[in-house]
Chain A
Amino acid sequence: MIRSAPDTSWIVQADGVVLVNSRRRTAVVVRYPEAAVWDLLTRHPVAEVTRKVACIASLEREEAERVVRSAIDQWVAQGFLREEAGGG
């Protein structure tokens, strides 16, 4: 199960969002369309996010899927999302 990491917050900027880990005092700028992926992930399951991203950014479904997957992987690696054991 992948969850948002504790101490993670984000700030909306005109060109994307800044993801902040206040405990580690790290931040990265995420541009669009990945910025929209983050925003949508906070409220929707991946499948819906993928559909929305495909719609909003006029991407083919496969391409939207790739954008979403790659973004999630990157945020896990950066510690903004974290994989936890357990069902879900």
Chain B
Amino acid sequence: MANLALTNVCNLDCPYCFAGSNVGHVEGPRQDLSESKFEAALDLLERSGIAEARLLGGEPTLHPRFAHFVERALTRGFRVAVFSNAIMPESALRSLEEAPAERVSLLVNARAEQDHQPAQWEKVRETYRRLGNRVALGYNIDSRAPRMDFLLDHIVRFGLSPLVRLGLAHPRLEGGNRSLRPRDYPSVGGRILEFAEAARAVGVALEFDCGFVPCMFSQTGREWLQMPDLGRRCNPILDLLPNGEFISCYPLATLHREKLTQIVDAAELRRRFTAQFDDLRQATLYPECVQCEFRARGECTGGCLSASLLRSRSTTFTVSERRQAPEQKPAKIIPWAIPYIDQPAEFWQDLARSFDGHIREVYFPPPLEVLGTGRPEQPSRFREEFLRHAPLARSLLLNAITLPAPVEQVAPAVIEAVRRYRDEYGIESATVANLSLAERIRDAMPEFPLTASILMDIFQPNQALMLKGVCDTLVPASRMVRDLNALKVLRAAFPGRIRLLVNEACVSGCPYRVEHFHEMASGFEDPRSLCDDLLAREPWLRLTGSWILPQHLPYYEDICDEMKLAGRVTLHDPVKYRRVLAAYIRRQPLAPHEIGGGPASPLEPIDISEEFVYRTSRCGQTCHSCSFCRDYYDSWRSSRAPYPQLVQIRLPAAAGRAMA
């Protein structure tokens, strides 16, 4: 079997077309197979003992000598099969009509009537009407919900051959065409079985093209189809291009080519392609293929090689001995929201000079009479000076975790205060912990940017949707700060900016948190860290806190747009504040006890390895079934060794990918 592409031009533009750059539109540059090459190709078929000349394109009937080629092939004793879209010139149609019916067939790459323009459909109908049962229909499945019923309708209506050839839309290695995703194969398998039943009911048989895999069908479906070789049909098809070069198949066209003039016969050609691709067959459609029973029994070769190879990843990297600045990805400049501490204007001027471009805003609490701020009242000697003269953008913090009265009563005064700060001091935005309050501010001041506070506890996608139209920026809940996968999901769900708080350090999902913040924000004289007793009993829990160290920020660069430093209380010392901020901006290593975290931060200078970060940022915090953090802490406490002796870790099945 070999296919001869008579021309590269086509009068349709199917989005799934495998032919890629080997096919162009009729109005573009064309390349037609010459008569001498056609004859040479027939010679090759003859030498190879192949009885059928299969003509394809592009649209082969658009070759100006199509009728002549058909006649030549017939004269030399071949049967002729034409792969067409049925929209052909009259001369081509007539040549097929007049050819002996038993020696010529047309496989039409079919579309539903409504997918054609009226003039095209007229042509298709004419072809069907005049060639009748010499026409078989083919259909390329390029979506998980293919509509195939029209095929049976056309067969019955036009008296076409009772045969449907199904193909999967495979991806070209060079890319660019719409293809069926391998993860949709099982869904498509179900549709095919439904279609097969309907086809059988009207006496229509199915054929399958290359690239099908048995696992896309249920056990019952496989038994019903009775096609034991279904999974072994990814072999060199041998397509001759109009320029006289053979390719294995269109999807793999860029991988290897052989010249027609240098080939003895099709068997040799097939051997050459097989040898070229043999190694690459180790790539399979799914990661699990290597453990698959069908593959082990030789019933499947692992699907379309092109689709398999397209799973590959590629990046240029340098194997280096030491830590270095990433070669291809310079450190991303991420703007920071930093806390107000009560310092004179010179302090802020110094920060502005030192970290130019890195600081987005300084957030500051209004006096308690406006609203609670998530902390007890802090020193405010320099606040007025800061508000009037700080050379940095300033943002208001409305961080009461609970309101002192119903929002209807609280909101008007808060909105008035926000307006005043905006008009008098040029305050540019606010962070709000209460969604009802945020909604009212947004209604009253639609242009004023709002950030959803970490205290809103937004940690899953449905919550992110609740902020739609209200908050422009979101600070994800503390419980998810060390969960990279959850952060990725939240980022996908929230249309605005994600601001990550790096050093709050509550225990993840702490059940005392709400009460603690309520006490801090509500003027309690002695707000307590209610987790103290718990952490005294289980000190390793501090390792599960919501902190990220400066040296580990690269893990988060693609997940957030901004970062936020906490520390209105814990970083009130300006020297420490500056040192911590500099470390975060410059990615300089710090230990967790140095970052000005909260009450549940590690208190001791424990060394946090990258392994620790790597594991604990992907573990989902399933602490009930894992002792990693406890072991890590115990190991550090007992030996002060930098790395714990770990329990045996079974390598995950797809560790390579899991590590990505």
Contacting pair A14 B290 (CB below 8 A): yes
Note all chain A residues with C-beta closer than 8 A to B316: 3-4, 6
Beta-carbon nearest neighbor of B302 in chain A: A13
B291–A12 contact, CB under 8 A?
Answer: no
Contact among A35, A40, A51, A88 with B609 in the assembled complex (CB-CB below 8 Å)? A51
Which of B276, B308, B320, B647 interacts with A45 by CB under 8 Å? B320
**A24 CA to B646 CA, complexed, in Å:** 41
In Å, the complex CA distance between A27 and B256 comes to 15
Q: Is the CB of B287 within 8 A of A13?
A: yes
Q: Which of A29, A35, A46 contacts B321 (CB 8 A)?
A: A46
Contact of B318 among A1, A20, A22, A39 (CB under 8 A): A1
C-alpha spacing A41/B651, complex, angstroms: 17
Any B CB within 8 A of the CB of A36: yes
* Nearest chain B residue, comparing its CB with the CB of A17: B656
Q: Are A56's CB and B643's CB within 8 A?
A: no
- The CA of A32 and the CA of B654, in the complex, are separated in Å by 10
Q: Is A56 in contact with B610, judged by CB distance below 8 angstroms?
A: no
Are A14 and B276 within 8 A (Cβ)?
A: no
Give the distance in Å from the alpha carbon of A33 to the alpha carbon of B276 in the complex: 29
Q: A62 to B315: give the CA distance in the assembly, Å.
A: 29
C-alpha spacing A81/B287, complex, angstroms: 23
Contact among A11, A28, A33 with B312 in the assembled complex (CB-CB below 8 Å): A11
The interface residues of chain B lying within 8 Å CB-to-CB of A58 are: 646-649
Question: Number of residues in A with C-beta < 8 Å to the partner?
Answer: 46
- Chain A residue at smallest Cβ distance from B314: A9
Of the candidates A13, A26, A56, the one having the most CB atoms from chain B within 10 angstroms of its own CB is A13
Check A77 for interface membership: any CB of B closer than 8 A: no
CA distance A67 to B341 in the complex (A): 51
Task: List the B side residues contacting A2 at CB < 8 Å.
Answer: 318-319
Determine which residue in B291, B323, B655 has the highest number of CB atoms from chain A within 10 A of its CB, and name it: B655
Q: A13, A32, A88: which contacts B320 (Cβ < 8 A)?
A: A88
**Nearest CB to that of B322 among chain A residues?**
A45
> Smallest CB-CB separation from B614: which chain A residue?
A52
Cβ-defined contact, B280 with A36, below 8 A: no
* Residue with the greatest number of chain A CB neighbours at <10 A, chosen from B318, B320, B656: B656
Q: Is A48 engaged at the interface, CB distance under 8 Å to the other chain?
A: yes
Contact of A13 among B284, B322, B646 (CB under 8 A): B284
Q: Which of A29, A38, A51 contacts B282 (CB 8 A)?
A: A29
Task: Verify A55–B611 contact, CB threshold 8 A.
Answer: yes
Q: Does chain A have a CB within 8 A of B347?
A: no
Q: Which residue of B lies closest to A6 (CB)?
A: B316
Give the size range of B's interface with the partner: 35 or more
Question: How many A-B contacts if CB must be within 8 Å?
Answer: 135
Which residues of A46-68 are within 8 A (CB) of B? 46-48, 51-52, 55-58
Q: Are B283 and A27 in contact (CB under 8 A)?
A: yes
User: Which residue of B277, B290, B315, B318 has the most chain A CB atoms within 10 A of its CB atom?
Assistant: B318
Please state if B319 and A46 are interface contacts (CB–CB under 8 Å): yes
With CB as the reference atom, state the residue of chain A lying closest to B316.
Answer: A4
Expressed in whole angstroms, the minimum distance between the Cβ of A57 and any Cβ of chain B is 7
A13 to chain B minimum Cβ distance, whole angstroms, is 5
Which residues of chain B have C-beta atoms less than 8 A from A40's C-beta?
Answer: 659
Whether the pair A38, B656 counts as a contact (CB closer than 8 A) is yes
Closest to B610 in A: A48
Which of A2, A26, A27 counts the most chain B CB atoms within 10 A? A27
**Are A14 and B288 within 8 A (Cβ)?**
yes
Given contacts A9-B312, A32-B655, contact A26 B279 (CB under 8 A): yes
Q: How far is the CB of A3 from chain B (nearest CB, A)?
A: 5
Contact A8 B611, CB 8 Å, known A25-B256, A45-B320: no
Does B200 sit at the interface, judged by CB under 8 A? no
B1 at the interface (CB under 8 A from A): no
Residues in A neighbouring B311, C-beta threshold 8 A = 11-12
Complex contacts, B655 vs chain A, CB 8 Å: 32, 35-36, 39, 56
B643's partner among A41, A55, A57 (CB-CB below 8 A) is A55
Q: In whole angstroms, what is the CA distance A32 to B647 when docked?
A: 18
Q: Which of B594-627 contact A (CB under 8 A)?
A: 609-611, 614
- Whether B657 is near chain A, meaning CB under 8 Å from some CB there, is yes
A18 cross-chain contacts in B, Cβ below 8 A: 282-283, 312
Chain B residues near A (Cβ < 8 Å): 255-256, 276-277, 279-280, 282-284, 287-291, 308-309, 311-324, 609-611, 614, 643, 646-649, 651, 653-657, 659-660
Interface pairs A-B: 6 shortest CB-CB: A9-B314, A9-B312, A2-B319, A12-B657, A55-B611, A27-B279
Q: List 16 A-B contacts (CB under 8 A).
A: A3-B317, A11-B311, A11-B312, A12-B313, A13-B289, A14-B288, A20-B283, A20-B312, A33-B651, A36-B655, A36-B659, A42-B317, A45-B321, A45-B322, A55-B609, A56-B649
| Interface contacts beyond A4-B318, A12-B287: sample of 17 additional A-B pairs, CB < 8 Å, sorted by A | A2-B319, A10-B312, A11-B313, A14-B288, A14-B289, A18-B282, A25-B255, A25-B277, A32-B656, A39-B656, A46-B319, A46-B321, A51-B611, A51-B643, A56-B651, A58-B647, A58-B649
